[in-house]
């Protein structure tokens, strides 16, 4: 979620080292060079651990790192990361003329925030310095939303229970009209919150998610949804603002939040991430309040609720 996680995710490149192991097993010398990725990964890991702990004000990130490393030994996570890395290459080839950004990409649909009330953009934005994960091309313009109090705290009590988190179990709304093309509802809500660990035994790091097709090249992807909270099914046509499920903590998530991004095709691994232009969103930022199309990290954001105006019927002359 935070930038130290992005840096850590970079170390996933070390997965390419497995090709080196394959080379050793099958005695394919050319593949031995891939072992260097393991070395690269180790160097990156030590760098990012130090930077991350400084950024987190000295807070120990050991549980996060340990569980994240353990998850690399989870064969399902391993293959997902491999797909993600392969997808990166595919996306770069598909977009050899340049990746979409908010200056060159024009959204085909108008989007609402996928929740009611005021939430905080914990992570993500329309520009590089605010990005959720600039290097992961599908999630370049992704957002992580939480509910935070005045002081920025996202939970009450000691934050050791899922129910301590203000956004846990809150309704998730469809960001625009569309058709539900995929639902995953197999993943538990990780109860180990409060120490920054992640669910390394998980069977899908995205947790429970929904993919909504709005048009042929715009798909909403919403993740970490609470298990068994879906109110829609695959194949359903849904309307903007319709309740689709509830906020949870499934998958690789250090605390309950809504992950939202827009992508250009159904299959996430091979989809290009698109900037999201919102419609009728009120932003609070550094004491100012205004309407904005694009939203950025640390802003408090909410949909402007418009009450339908009652049309005055023309008086028919008798
Ligand atoms: Zn996210």
Q: What is the pLDDT of residues 256-269, one digit of tens each?
A: 999 999 999 999 99
Find the 259 Cα to ligand 1 centroid distance in Å: 4
Tokens (6 digits) for 34: 């891939």
pTM for the model stands at 0.83
Comparing C-alpha atoms, which of 9, 46, 13, 251 is closest to residue 140? Answer: 9
Confirm if 146 and 204 have CB atoms less than 8 A apart: no
Distance separating alpha carbons of residues 140 and 9, to the nearest angstrom = 13
What is the DSSP annotation of 100-125?
--TTT---SS-B--SSSS-EEEEE--
Res. 34 pLDDT band, cuts 50 70 90: confident
Confirm if 17 and 74 have CB atoms less than 8 A apart: no
Mark the residues whose beta carbon lies below 5 A from ion ligand 1.
144, 259
Q: For the chain, where are the alpha helices, taking DSSP H only?
A: 3-10, 17-25, 36-55, 62-71, 75-94
Find the 142 Cα to ligand 1 centroid distance in Å: 6
Confirm if 196 and 190 have CB atoms less than 8 A apart: no
Query: What local confidence, expressed as pLDDT, does residue 11 receive?
Result: 54
Distance separating alpha carbons of residues 92 and 78, to the nearest angstrom = 22
Res. 50 pLDDT band, cuts 50 70 90: confident
Res. 55 pLDDT band, cuts 50 70 90: confident
- Of 31-45, 144-158, 169-183, 294-308, the poorest mean pLDDT is in 31-45
Query: What local confidence, expressed as pLDDT, does residue 248 receive?
Result: 98
Which residues fall within 8 angstroms of residue 93, CB to CB, at 6 or more apart?
Answer: none
Tokens (6 digits) for 107: 């959204």
Find the 137 Cα to ligand 1 centroid distance in Å: 13
Distance separating alpha carbons of residues 146 and 265, to the nearest angstrom = 26
Q: Between 14 and 217, name the one with better pLDDT.
A: 217
Res. 79 pLDDT band, cuts 50 70 90: confident
Query: What local confidence, expressed as pLDDT, does residue 229 receive?
Result: 98
Which residues fall within 8 angstroms of residue 163, CB to CB, at 6 or more apart?
Answer: 169
Query: What local confidence, expressed as pLDDT, does residue 69 receive?
Result: 76
Find the 237 Cα to ligand 1 centroid distance in Å: 25
Report pLDDT digits (tens) over 85-121: 889 889 999 999 999 999 999 999 999 999 999 999 9
């Amino acid at each position: 979620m935070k930038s130290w996680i992005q840096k850590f995710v970079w170390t996933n490149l070390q997965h390419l080292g497995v090709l080196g192991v394959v080379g050793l097993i099958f005695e394919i010398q050319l593949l031995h060079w891939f072992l260097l990725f393991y070395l690269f990964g180790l160097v990156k890991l030590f760098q990012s651990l130090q930077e991350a702990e400084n950024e987190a004000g000295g807070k120990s990130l050991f549980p996060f790192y340990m569980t994240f490393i353990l998850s690399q030994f989870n064969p399902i996570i391993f293959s997902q990361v491999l797909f993600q890395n392969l997808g990166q290459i595919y996306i770069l080839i598909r977009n050899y003329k340049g990746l979409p950004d908010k200056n060159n990409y024009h959204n085909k649909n108008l989007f609402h925030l996928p929740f009611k009330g005021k939430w905080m953009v914990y992570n993500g934005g329309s520009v590089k310095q605010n990005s959720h994960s600039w290097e992961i091309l599908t999630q370049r313009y992704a957002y992580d939303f939480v509910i935070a109090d005045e002081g920025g705290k996202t939970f009450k009590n000691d934050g050791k229970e899922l129910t301590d988190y203000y956004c846990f179990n809150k309704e998730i709304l469809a960001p625009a009209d569309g058709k539900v093309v995929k639902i995953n509802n197999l993943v538990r809500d990780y109860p180990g919150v409060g120490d920054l660990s992640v669910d390394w035994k998980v069977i899908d790091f995205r947790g429970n998610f929904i993919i909504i097709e709005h048009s042929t090249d715009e798909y909403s992807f919403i993740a970490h949804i609470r298990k068994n909270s879906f109110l829609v099914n695959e194949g359903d046509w849904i309307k903007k603002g319709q309740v689709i499920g509830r906020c949870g903590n499934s998958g690789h998530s250090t605390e309950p939040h809504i992950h939202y991004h827009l992508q250009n095709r159904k299959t996430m691994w091979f989809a290009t991430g698109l900037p999201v232009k919102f419609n009728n969103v009120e932003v609070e930022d550094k004491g100012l309040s205004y309407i904005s199309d694009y939203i950025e990290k640390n802003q408090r954001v909410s949909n402007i609720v418009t009450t339908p105006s009652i049309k005055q019927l023309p008086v028919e002359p008798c």
